[in-house]
Structures are given as C-alpha cells and as structure tokens.
Amino acid sequence: MLFKLPKLSYSYKDFEPYIDRKTMEIHYTKHHAGYTNNLNKAIEGTDMINLSIKEILRRANIETPIIRNNSGGFYNHNLFWEILIPHSENISPSIELNEIIEKYFKSFDSFKEKFSEIAANHFGSGWAWLCVKNKKELTICSTRNQDNPLMLGIGCKGIPILGLDVWEHAYYLQYQNRRIDYISSFWKIINWKKVEENYKIAINMNL
C-alpha cells in the first residue's frame, strides 16, 4: 500500500501560544510530508509494499537506513498529531488513566517530571515516549532520530501511546535552544482521551 499524509483535525494556529502556526505548518507540510513521500518511494517495487506500517517497523532494523528513517518518521508523526489537542479544549487524564499512571510512577507529577527529564536530556534529535510493555506496564524511554519502540533492538521496547518530538524542527522557530520551555508547553496541549484510547488498544495488541 502507499501511505498517505493524515488529515489534521485542527488548524495550524490552534496551538498558539504553545506551538506557533509557522512551526506547525512547516512540521506537517515539509517534514512529515517528506517522510511520507520518501517512504513510499523506498518501498515501491519491494515486498514491503503490502505491509502495514507496524509490520515495516518491526523489520526496520534490518532494512536500509532510508526505510528505517522514513517509516519511523511517518509513524512517529502520525502519533504525535493524534495526541495533541488545542489548548482551548484541554482535558485532564481520566480517573482511570490517572490511577494507572500513579501505579507505575507514584503520582502524575512524578510521571510528568520523569518524562520531561528524559525529553530534556535526550542528546540530539529524537523522541521521548510513554509506552506499554508486557501487556500492561507503563514505561518511559527515548529513541534517536526517527526510531521508535516498535522497532527491534533499540533499547526502548514497548508500544508507544504518547510521544514528544524533540527534533529542533519541532520547536526551534519559537523556542530556539530552549527545549525545556517547549516541553513545558507540550503538557498544556495533550489529548489525554486519545492517550487513554491508545493504552487500551496497546494492552490488547499481539506484539
């Protein structure tokens, strides 16, 4: 199959002042679109043309760098757009999700602090993730470049349910080198309803 750039359910300006309109537009129309187009070119004429994106990711570690990088870039950004919500509609985690978070991180604030620390201290380009492992456990980790926890052998194993892009293209126009400020803004625009939905799907996945 050929992969398509997903349609956004919001406009580029909907995340201001936390993420500026220009960054959102460039991130989506240039970077994500580029990963999508390059992935389609890389798998055209190969046996991967009929695989799902998750199936491609599971063998990405033995494929060429162009397939690994662009399959990750396509999947990672799809998830990123899905777990964002305009701040005017911001909702908190449900009681059920909050209890699950507290089970593995003692408190929501402790989870937030650990996730922010991993995102802030990740060296270079990459992603910070909240993942489900062993069918139910929550864990936090980071990956380099466009790798993600669905790929094998990268030291960050699980099914991602929330991800933060810490590549400079995600924040540099507005925040320059202030990644910590960008991370702080991220907490104000998370769609916790979608994160909880991702959790429920993940605990039933056969991976």
Domain boundaries, the chain: 20-207
Q: How confident is the model at residue 207 (pLDDT cuts 50, 70, 90)?
A: low
User: Which tens digits make up the pLDDT trace of 18-61?
Assistant: 999 999 999 999 999 999 999 999 999 998 999 999 999 999 88
Top mean pLDDT of 55-69, 79-93, 107-121 is at 107-121
Tens of pLDDT, residue by residue over 123-162, are 999 999 999 998 889 999 999 999 999 999 888 999 999 9
> Which region among 69-73, 86-90, 170-174, 201-205 has the lowest average model confidence (pLDDT)?
86-90
pLDDT value for 92: 87
pLDDT digits (tens, 9 = 90+) for 157-205: 999 999 999 999 999 999 999 999 999 999 999 999 999 999 999 998 8
Predicted local distance difference test score (pLDDT) of residue 30: 98
* CATH class of segment(s) 20-207: alpha beta
Return the percent helix, strand and coil in the chain, to nearest 5.
55, 10, 35
* CA distances (Å), origin 191, targets 54, 59, 78, 170: 22, 30, 14, 18
Specify the pLDDT at position 206: 64
- The CA distances from residue 142 to 8, 120, 165, 172, 183, in Å, are 25, 10, 10, 20, 14
User: Global pTM?
Assistant: 0.95
Exposed / middle / buried, residue 176 (Cβ in 10 Å: 0-12, 13-18, 19+)? exposed
Selection from 99, 100, 108, 92 nearest residue 137 by Cα: 100
Q: Could you give the angle at which helices 95-105 and 108-121 cross, rounded to 10 degrees? A: 70
Q: Of 130, 120, 75, whose CA–CA distance to 97 is shortest?
A: 130
Q: How far is CA 51 from the centre of its chain?
A: 21
Both tokens of residue 79?
């998830």
Tell me what pLDDT residue 1 has. Answer: 65
Tokens of 132: 């489900």
